[in-house]
Amino acid sequence: MINLFYMEGLPVAVMGLGKSGLATAEALTQSGADVWVWDDNESSRADALSKGYKVVDLTTADLTELTTIVWSPGIPHTHPKPHPVALRARAANIELVCDIELLARSERDSAYIGITGTNGKSTTTTLIGHVMEAAGRRIAVGGNLGTPALTFPSVGAGGSYVLEMSSYQLELTYSITFDVAVLLNITPDHLARHGGMDGYVAAKKLIFHRQTKPRTAVIGVDDPTCRAIWEDLKAKGDQVIWPVSALGPVPGGVYAADGWLVDDTFGAAERVAELAAFPALLGTHNWQNAAAAFAACKAAGVPTPAIVAAVTTFPGLAHRQQLVRTIDGVRFVNDSKATNADATEKALATFDPIYWILGGQAKETGLDGLETYAPRVRHAFLIGEASDRFAAWLEANKVPHTRCGTLDVAVNAAAELALAEALPGACVLLSPACASWDQFANFEKRGKAFADAVNRLEGNAVPGDRA
């Protein structure tokens, strides 16, 4: 656990008592701070009280003693409507920061690798961590990925923190200047929380805050928004800039072309590995992830052979195009982490034919942009709140579909049809294009429920394919 020595004796509040909030309260307590905690949820407050924390109602308490509130990034503090505590804090000139800001203030001698983007950041963060660990580096990996920052060990000078950074976290982190900053892509997401697309893009660009040479910016250039950011940073020339692409050559960067991963960072256009050698990185979107991870690790000083060897052994990310089983030639793939259409597009582009399980709590954009992939879908199986909305989209795109309601029903129906039709390359794909909160606490629990349902199916499984 990180020692927040500079907070000893100081009153500090924690707003939001989820996983990272409780970890923050514990780290502050262990460091000798006077810790106040609050959550709008009564059961969360009761749980904190049972753990011995000082529960203080930040909506009514006198805040003048405080200088800092450690804010859960999931709680709105600006758009679409700021939480009343945020308004009170700003009126009292109290800073709002997230837990990663406290990490940065405490661990000043360590290196920082930050990864953001609308999609692919968890895979890329995990892959970078896998490579760095295989190369013998002293690291800790987490952030938005799931491991709270203040539960990390101190890696000290020569060590690195590899941090997945959401747009929410970037807005509440001020002290980190990333030694390597990765921006993968930007497509519309979380727009209400940022007051529109301009605010969302501005938040993502904070990954490059205060970077100067020899610090490195790694930027995916396959979408127009990120390409414009690349052009802007390149014109300013403040940091080293390496573009990455999954779609073909990009001078001075790392890219996928003709089935190869190519390194042109020093102008040599060297083929470093066949993409087929990376079994856990299927599909064009994962080629971008591989290129970004390669560039980031090279910028961090890992030799090319060590990077390639580690990427080859990467097991993949749970709930992200994760093969659960193959039964009688039909693959069952858990892509529960695909919570929006752009993420689901990556899976639809990878498999064919598809028995698609989708639905849940829909995002603003619904299934917009997936029309091209409708012919790949043999049949769709709808679950959750979005069933009516998504059924209309499926009808408009001439995709046969069944309303299943719940995930276990959908798995059984999809398996029955896929196994009966026995088409070459068939895939039963959970890629919901939705948040999970209508039926599951999070996408991990949804993915586990899918895997459990698949593992209950009867059939001739390929050895070693159970997950």
Helix, strand counts (H, E) of the chain: 15, 22
Q: Mind telling me the catalytic residues?
A: 121, 144, 190
Tokens of 196: 């529109």
119 is in an annotated binding site: yes
The side-by-side arrangement of strands in the sheet containing 427-430 is 322-327, 330-334, 427-430, 354-359, 377-383, 401-405
* 32 annotated as belonging to a binding site for a ligand: no
Q: How far is residue 187's CA from residue 334's CA, in Å, rounded to a whole number?
A: 23
Q: Is 312 annotated as a binding residue?
A: no
> Residue 363: enclosing H or E segment and its boundaries?
none
Which residue from 107, 94, 8 is spatially nearest to 58, judged by alpha carbons?
94
Q: Is 442 annotated as a binding residue?
A: no
43 is in an annotated binding site: no
* Residue partners of 259: CB distance under 8 A and separation at least 6: 274, 275, 276
* CA dihedral (259, 263, 267, 269) positive or negative: negative
CB 328 within 8 A of CB 460: yes
Query: Which residues share a beta bridge with 245?
Result: 255
CB 361 within 8 A of CB 435: yes
∠ CA 205-206-208, nearest 5°, is 80
Rounded distance between C-alpha atoms, residue 150 and residue 153, angstroms: 8
Instruction: Mark residue 283 as left, alpha or beta (left: phi above 0; alpha: psi -120 to 50; beta: remaining).
Output: left
Find out whether 122 is annotated in a ligand binding site. yes
d(CA 389, CA 301): 49
Q: Which of 110, 120, 249 is nearest to 180 (CA)?
A: 110
160 is in an annotated binding site: no
Task: Classify residue 54 as exposed, middle or buried by CB count within 10 Å of its CB (0-12, 13-18, 19+).
Answer: middle
SS3 content of the chain, % helix, strand, coil (to 5): 35, 20, 40
Binding residues for ATP: 117-123
